Amino acid sequence: MARSRSSRKRREDRRGALMIAGVVLILLTLAGLVAYLSRTRVERDRISFCPVGGARGVTAVIVDRTDELSPVQQASLLNHLRRIREETQQDHLLMLFAIGDSSKQMIEPVFAACKPPSGADPLIENPEFVRAQFEEKFSGPFQEAVNSLLMIGAPSAESPILETIQAASVLAFGGAKDEVPKQLIIASDMIQNTKGFSQYRGLSSFEEFQGLGYAARVQARLRGAEVEVLYLKRTTEPSLQGTRHVQFWRDYVAGSEGTLIRVTSVEG
C-alpha cells in the first residue's frame, strides 16, 4: 500500500515537472517572439508612412510639364516611372515634382510617401491587410499622381528647371541624414527658359552661367545625390540639345554637390 502511494506520488511529481517545463517553454517562446517583433517592427508616420526615425533613402523625381508630350513619350515615361516605383526600396521616400510656370507647382510635391512593405509573414501578420496598406498608402496614390503629370496640357510660357531642382533638393534632401542615399531623376528636355536665364537665347557654358547673379539665386545643394536625366528630345529645337547641352548640366550638377550618372534618351 505504501509502495503504491509512493509510486503514484512519483508519477504526479513527474507530471507536475513536465507541466512546469511546458509553461516555461511557452513563456520563453513568447518572450523570444516579443523580442523578435520589437527588433523587426518599424514604427511609421501615419501620413508619409516613413519610419519615425527618418527615411532610409530618398528619391526625388521631377517631370517637365511645360511642353506637350507625344503619345510615344507619354508611354515611355510611364514605363520609366513604373520602373522607379519598383526599384524604390522599402522605407525609402519617393517624391514627385512637376516643372511648371507657377511657384506652387515648383514647391509642392504632387506625391510624397515612403514605400511600405508589400509582403507579410503569415505567421505574425495579415498578408491581405499589408497588401491593402501598400496599395492605399503608396502604389495607388503614386499612380494617380503619375496619371495627372502625364496628362496633355497647354505649353507653358516658361520652363524653370533650375528653380524646380533647387526647390526639390530642399524639400527632398534638406531633412535627410547625410549617410542616407539620395537620388534625383529629371524627366525633361532640360531647356531652361525664364526671364533670368533662357537657353533659347543661346547655349552658354556653365562657366559663363556662373558669372551671372541669377546663378547664385537658383543654386541647389544636392548633398551627394546621384542624378539621372530622362532626356526628352524636342524636334523643334534640335540645335539646342546635344553634347554641349548635356555638358552644361553635367557641370551644373557637379557644382551642386551631385553626380550626373546617366542621361537616357526618351523614345518619341
**What fold, for 58-265?**
Rossmann fold (3.40.50)
pLDDT at 33 over 50: no
In the predicted model, what is the mean pLDDT of residues 248-265? 97
Give residue limits of the domains in the chain.
1-41, 58-265
**Model confidence over 49-77: pLDDT tens digits?**
899 989 999 999 999 989 888 899 999 99
**Model confidence over 192-250: pLDDT tens digits?**
999 999 999 988 899 999 999 999 999 999 999 999 999 999 887 778 999 999 999 99
- In which band, very low, low, confident or very high, does the pLDDT at 100 lie, cut at 50, 70 and 90? confident
**Model confidence over 130-185: pLDDT tens digits?**
788 889 889 999 999 999 888 866 688 899 999 999 999 999 999 899 999 999 99
Give 188's strand partners.
231
- In which band, very low, low, confident or very high, does the pLDDT at 186 lie, cut at 50, 70 and 90? very high
pLDDT at 6 over 70: no
E-strand stretches of the chain: 58-64, 93-99, 111-114, 182-188, 226-231, 259-265
